[in-house]
Structures are given as structure tokens and as C-alpha cells.
Structure 1
Amino acid sequence: MVLKEKSYSKQKLKNKILQAGYDGSTIQESGQSSNTLLTGALNFTKLQNGVSLHFANTYESSETVSSCEIADLISFNILFAGRLSFAINEQRYQFDATTSEKIFINIINGKQTFSRFLSLNNNLKKLNLCVSKAWLIQRCPHEQEKSLILSLFRDKHAVYELSCSEILKEQALQLCSINVNDSLKSQLFLEAQATLFISELISLLKTRVARPVSSTKSYTAKPKRQFDKEVLPLLYCDFTVKQISNKLGTSESTMQRYFKQHFQMSVLEFIREKKLEKARRMLVIERKSIGEAAYYSGYKHVSNFVTAFKKQFAVTPRELLKQHEL
């Protein structure tokens, strides 16, 4: 695929993901905001035969997470270079092609939360082919084959790794090198090569050559500092606990346990505390009015904000301002 190298800001990357059909996707940067999240060649192609291709040869220049919901599909991934990290629900996975290419397969049954993590200073080259569960079943001529396909979807999700043979590597590279244009010939050739490659990988899955991959660790079992770095930006948005847990690829109960363990408070109590700390900064540093601080902290009524503020800091907002005046 002959692609032009481009720079992708947060909005441009989100538009690209939406064009690929992932509605409702969100992108959240950790730490300081960067104008450019990644640079390089990035392409999403949906073929007429139902196969979706995603090719990337990029340099990631920001710690960023992109989240969306995916459902009932098999994703075939060839990692040529770099590190690739993602989470499915509360499970985190990581593949590293620093020394050799990796092939892994994600099987998604039902609607699941998926998050892809961009890493700072990561040169990534990968090819992804994706087909729906229905697409595979429709192509099964015999009940026995249909049963085998359905057996792959017995769990909510599963990740398998294959040895990257020279034959599979060459097939993947050939797919990447096809010059796609609007001609019938190029479209049919790409569809044929993509379908052939998927057929090879499905055969390996059915013969149990693929190895099941365990998650590196539970998503919320990461070090506290790193977890806070990803959670805190979401806390200042008008999200419910359920929405936050979905965006982080974990469950509400797991999040509640984590906060009780590390902060001795519930998620809502933690959110309230952080928002009030932000309000204190807005009052003292940014010199916002009490009404503005209340509004940006999510309080519809100033009186409720003042009550919560005094309970948290033992002074009212006005008393605090007086302490910081000449």
C-alpha cells in the first residue's frame, strides 16, 4: 500500500478512527497535551467482501489511549516492528516485535470494551485484518466447520499467538505492498490476497497450532502512579463511574475495589475530592469567581459547592480567598 506520511493530531486521529467505522471512540492523552500524537502512514480500508484492513507504519510521540466498543469479530494482527499494547475489558496485553515479528489473533464475542495504548517514542509497523463472526459463519459450507468457528467464540474474548513463519511473513508483506487504486483489478487482487491470508490463519486456529495468550496483568493492577495518570484526566469530565470504567476497559466493581484499597474511599468520593482541589486552584491561582469554580466543578448550585468546599478544607471559598489576598 503506497501511503503518504502525515501528522495526526488528536482530532485528526479521531476522525480517522470514525471513518473506519468505530463509532463512539474516545482519545485521552496522559500528562501534557501534544499537538501531534503520531506521524507516518496510517490507512483503514473496508473491502467489498467484508474484510477490513488496517495498516500502520508510524512513530508514536505521545502517551495516549484510544477506546471504543467492538463486537463479534476476529482480528488478525501482524506486528512487524515496535511495541503494541491494548486492553480488552479489564485485561491488558502487550506484544513486542523488537527482535522478531509477532502474529496474534483477537477473538471478540459480544460487545466488549477495547483500548489501544500509544507509547512515547515507539516506531510501530503493523497490519490488521478484521472479519465479523457472521461473515465467517456465512462462509461455512458444512455444519462441522460452523461448529468449529462457533467454538472459537465460546468466551467473551480470547487472544492467541502464532509463530511467524517465513511464508506468513511474506504473505503479510505482500498485502502491505499492494498498490490499491480505484480499478477493479486492484480491488479484486487485494480482496483475494486478504481472504487467502485469513484462510491460512483460520486453518492454524482450527488445528490448535495457535497458543492462548494470558494477559500481562489485570488492567487495574498497574502501579498506582500509572493508573492515576490514566484515570485523573477522565475524572474532570462529566462522566459517570460506569462510563469511566468502560473507557478504562475495566468493571465498576474492580474500580471500586482499587480505590478502596489505595485511597480508602469510593470512586465518587475520590472524584469529589479531586474536583474540589481543582476548584481551590481555580480560585487561588486562576482567580476564577466562586460561581465559575462551582460550575467547573460540576455543582449546579453555589450553596452546595460552598458546603462541600468547607467540609473538605474547613474554610469557605470566600475565607480561602481572603487568606490569599494582600
Structure 2
Amino acid sequence: MHADDATDEFDGTASGRCAPGLHLVLLLEGNLDLSYGNRRVVLTTACPRSAHEISHGWPSCAQAFLMNAIEPETFSRRIHRGNYARRLSFVISDQWLQHLQEASCAAMPARLRSLLSSHLLAQPWQPTPRAIALAEQIVRPPAYEPILQAIYLESRMLDLLAEALAPPRGSQSIIHNIAQTNTTGLSPRGYCRMAELRAFLSGAAANQLSLEDMARQMGMNANTMQRQFRSAYGTTIFDFLRESALQRARLALERDALSIKQAAALAGYTSPANFATAYKRRFGVTPKLAQRSGQR
């Protein structure tokens, strides 16, 4: 599994090998330009939404696809300076799926059978609000202990895979299904409001506001806002802000060669010692070690 939320810093091409198996790629925001062998896939969320999506409050133009690789293939991603992408991808081996089929004593669903019999056939998939919420939780998981975080991530990846492989439904069926099975407890409109709040929290201005100030800005009760945000993203507003601050500090230490005192201030800590404790608890290394690794 790979998940990131980053802006490209240079132009170029990142290349590697694509492992055999069923690949799921979901772009939450931004642009992706990928190639698997000779198969090129370009995704962008900078697209107009349909009247149906707007009227039902669908949160974004998130894009996704499923593709199976029967054998190893070359993989490349074209990088453009300033390009932003918040996305996730993971691969499920054919052996695991076959084992699951045997254990359940059930026939392979037609769509999955079709995918597994084709090499590098990309099938587009329009993520539902529930799928987007699951993806957001994978990209920004809570700061659990390693084994608990692994359990958390695996449960959401399997849930997301089930969403992706479910039989396609008509637009009315989709809306009905969201109302019946959306485990986030949010309507599409409610999730859209939480996506707006998340975008606001990612900016520096949010650090200067109290929870009550944020709630007033969103036109909501503070307790309701907290509950809905946790439902959508699996974390509290406070933990999200702290995680964002620590991630900014980490990038500053590794890339910009800031001092530990400067990184602590950037993350909102007045005490470098308290910052170092929080940093090590989150990333498993001290800020000093992170600083040295960035200077190599």
C-alpha cells in the first residue's frame, strides 16, 4: 500500500516494477500521470461535476481505477514541479483472492473474474462518498501503535476493495445504497461540509482558532462538528491539526534543514523538548536523527 499527500518538487519520471496482482488506484485530489507497461492512465480531479453529483452533494471529482497485472511490468509516474496529488494505491495478489474464493466456497464475481483474466486492462471506477471517506482515513490514519495502525489500515483497504468490486449500480440505486450502508453516518452533503473543513484545517490560519471559532465559521455546533469530522476521517480535529503540524515539521527538518528549535515553533511547540518527545512518539526517530538523514 502506498498513500501520500504531496506536491512534486521537480520535473522527471519515477520508474520501477509493477508487481503482479489486482491494483487499485484512487486519486482524491490533484493530478496523476501513470504508465503500466505501454498502458498510460491520466487522472485529474480538476473536472466539472455532473448535475446529478452536484444536486446530491457529492464531495469531489475523485477518480479511481482497477487494473490487473498477470506478470511483472514496468511502472512509471511522470512528475511535474508544482503538481499536487493526494492519493492511495494498493495491490492484492491473485493467490490471496483465489484463497479467499476457496475458503468461502463461492463463485468468483463476474467483474472480478473479468479483471483477473486480463493483463493491464484498466477499468475506471467512480468512488462513492463512502469510498472517499475510507480513502481519506487511509491517507491520514490515526497515530496508533504500529500493530494497531496496521490492523486499522488493512480493515479499511478491504472495505474499500469491496466497494470497488461491488456490481455497478444506477444513479438512484447508488444514492439509496449510500443512505443504507454509509458507515460514516454522514449524508453526501455532510461529508462535503467535512471536506471543506479539512481543507481549511490544512492551512496555517486554523492553528489560531479555537474549536468554537471553527464551529461558528462552519455554521455548526462544536460537538456536532467534532463528531462528523471523526466519522469522515477517523480522527479528531485536534489530532488532525497535530498530525499536520508534525508532518510540516518533519518535511522542514529533512528537506529545508531547519533547526530543531525552528521546527518545534513551526509545529506549534514552545518547548523543543516537548516537540522532540511528540516527534519520536509519532515517527519513531528523534528530530536530530531526521535532520541528519535529510542532510545525507
TM range (shorter): 0.3 to 0.5
Q: From the CA coordinates, give the structure whose radius of gyration is larger.
A: 1
Q: TM-score, normalised by structure 2?
A: 0.47
Taking structure 1 as the reference length, what is the TM-score of the superposition? Answer: 0.43
